[in-house]
Structure 1
Amino acid sequence: MLWFKCDEIIPGVAIAVGFIAICLGGFFLSYEYDPIVNVEILCSMAEEGENQRDIFRQAGKTAVILGHTGETGRVLVKLLAQEKLFKKVTLIGRREIPLDKEVVGPEFEQKVVDFEKLDDYEEDFKGHDVGFWCLGTTKAKSGEEGFKRVDYDYVLKTAELAKSGGMKHLQFMSTHSADHTSSLLYTRTKGQVEEALKVMHFERLSILRPAVLMVDRQESRKMEAFARFVLTPVSKLFPTAITVPIEYVATAMINIAVSTTDKNCETFENKEIHVLSGKSPICQKKEKTKTK
């Protein structure tokens, strides 16, 4: 028979839980209210992205999405199909997936490639103005070597082919805290890819670093599902701290593509992605402050 002193243990546990909650709250609060240095520029880019769509359509540009079968890629395809910003969109992946013909128009074309023989598909990477690189896997799914093969080798090789094929603007979906010197495989690999892409000298390179993506994945990832469950209330209280809805990421990518800049390389952190999506109240608050 187990026995313990409830009057001693329960209050102690309650104090410990309360202390941890206060610490986490302070941590999230510091992230949430950490000022964005270039907020005016980001708000301007989001507004330009919204306002310049008609002009952008008339330019008749083409795009390619790498990783269109993933969660971000799927949302991006849906939004681009609705907006009809490009005269042609090539979807490159290792397999073909059913597309909703009521949403996706004839300007979308799927290309199936063997990533182990990418040189054989050089023609598929030619003639694109904008590239959205959303390709990625996990160590749990593919193992360490498989992860590096996909997230490093495939990403860089396809970027090289796209660059030699005339691509002007590449957008790469990286991750929060990406750092080529990190001790963690995931963030280190993403950081290494970022550094390698920079020396390819695209006319414009846009790197997005979203934190935890809020999305119900079609592919089951238990740890991510648990993290989203725990972080759902956090995302309500501190929406820009360490989470971002996947629709915000896709919309931000579109706004970045449509907007103009004099920078050759730009990196957008999680909070900045919220602003670039045009869905964050941050820009509205800034506008109200100016008019007062």
Structure 2
Amino acid sequence: MAGEEISSFKEFQKIGHSAFILGYTGKVGKALTKELAKAKLFKKVFLIGRRQVQLDGDIGEEFEQIVVDFEKIEDYADIFKDIDVGFCCLGTTTKNGTESFVRVDHDYVIKSAELAKSGGCKHFNFISTKWADRNGTLLYIKTKGQVEEALKVMHFNRLSVFRPGGILGHRDDSRLTETVATFFLKPVTFLFPTAITIPVEMFAKAMIKNTVTPADHPVEILENKDIHAISGSLTMCHTDQKQAAD
């Protein structure tokens, strides 16, 4: 990892930031939690979800699980007070019906973001999707596009919108469509690794590296190739940080 990047990590750590992760039990949320535990980037990380789960043994004491009812998320406004950085990994599929999908991927996200903004969140990270478009014909990309637009007008100090392609990695709750898609995407992934897929661990590392890197604009849209590029040298930072401090 380059010296400038190590310096960014160390400076970020010194400030003593706090963070929350919405949807930490999903594929991306789990990977992000693990990478944050390795990086020791935040003094406190609140894991906000609908249920409590058994965390891996290497998840430190700075991580705290908080169970909420997203249908009544307004009742939990105090949870979001004075948290600097938010990571939104909330998401579901349409297999449970259109109404359920929109409620989770649209309503829950927007209401949580509003509370975070009111509570003082300065940097909000949102996982959208490739080809997100509020005027799209497909429900998934249309919903993600609508959320993007809603987040923009909340005027966070910094809004990072990630538009990954297919996210490759293990999921505890098997989803047939993802399994089939992953199988057919393997040849494309091999030939064009940055085109339409990204490994979940790489995605999580990119989110972390992006957090400690100053942004040129208050709103940044990061496409799949951008996410690959950002993650580039982060793989060494966990060991390099200790060496740099010695």
Q: Scaled by the length of structure 2, what TM-score is found?
A: 0.92
Q: Does 1:137 align with 2:54?
A: no
Report the Cα distance in structure 1 between the residues aligned to 2:6 and 2:174, rounded to whole angstroms: 34
Report the Cα distance in structure 1 between the residues aligned to 2:62 and 2:179, rounded to whole angstroms: 34
Give the drift of 1:56.
Answer: 1.1
Give the drift of 1:216.
Answer: 2.1
The one-letter code of the counterpart of 2:60 is G
Report the Cα distance in structure 2 between the residues aligned to 1:51 and 1:135, rounded to whole angstroms: 31
Give the drift of 1:119.
Answer: 1.2
Report the Cα distance in structure 1 between the residues aligned to 2:143 and 2:5, rounded to whole angstroms: 30
Aligned to 1:231: 185
Q: Does 1:155 align with 2:112?
A: no
Report the Cα distance in structure 1 between the residues aligned to 2:129 and 2:141, rounded to whole angstroms: 7
Give the drift of 1:214.
Answer: 1.0
Aligned to 1:65: 21
SS in 2 for 1:52: helix
Q: Cα gap change, 1:271/1:262 in structure 2, threshold over 3 Å: closer, same or farther?
A: closer
Report the Cα distance in structure 2 between the residues aligned to 1:48 and 1:150, rounded to whole angstroms: 39
Contact 1:131 1:170 in 2 (8 A): yes
Give the drift of 1:215.
Answer: 1.0
SS in 2 for 1:250: helix
SS in 1 for 2:87: strand
- Deviation string 1:139-187 (CA, Å, 9 cap, x unpaired) is 01x2100000000000000000000000000000000000000000000
RMSD between superposed Cα atoms in Å: 1.4
Q: 1:270 aligns with which of 207, 212, 224?
A: 224
Identical aligned residues as a percent: 56
The one-letter code of the counterpart of 1:148 is V
Give the drift of 1:50.
Answer: 4.8
Aligned to 1:146: 100
Q: 2:74 aligns with which of 93, 107, 119?
A: 119
Q: Does 1:258 align with 2:217?
A: no
Report the Cα distance in structure 2 between the residues aligned to 1:108 and 1:253, rounded to whole angstroms: 18
Indicate the structure (1 or 2) with the bigger Cα radius of gyration.
Answer: 1
Report the Cα distance in structure 1 between the residues aligned to 2:13 and 2:225, rounded to whole angstroms: 28
Q: Does 1:81 align with 2:37?
A: yes
The one-letter code of the counterpart of 1:249 is F
Report the Cα distance in structure 2 between the residues aligned to 1:259 and 1:240, rounded to whole angstroms: 21
The one-letter code of the counterpart of 2:41 is L
SS in 2 for 1:218: coil
SS in 2 for 1:73: helix
Structure 1 unaligned regions, length at least 5: 1-45, 281-292
Report the Cα distance in structure 1 between the residues aligned to 2:106 and 2:208, rounded to whole angstroms: 24
Contact 1:171 1:207 in 2 (8 A): yes
Q: 1:182 aligns with which of 133, 136, 158?
A: 136
Contact 1:256 1:276 in 2 (8 A): yes
Greater Cα shift, 173-182 or 213-222: 213-222
Give the drift of 1:49.
Answer: 4.5
- Deviation string 1:14-51 (CA, Å, 9 cap, x unpaired) is xxxxxxxxxxxxxxxxxxxxxxxxxxxxxxxx985554
- Deviation string 1:183-210 (CA, Å, 9 cap, x unpaired) is 0000000000000000000000000000
The one-letter code of the counterpart of 1:239 is P
| Corresponding residue pairs, total | 233
Q: Scaled by the length of structure 1, what TM-score is found?
A: 0.77
Give the drift of 1:262.
Answer: 3.4
Report the Cα distance in structure 1 between the residues aligned to 2:41 and 2:4, rounded to whole angstroms: 14
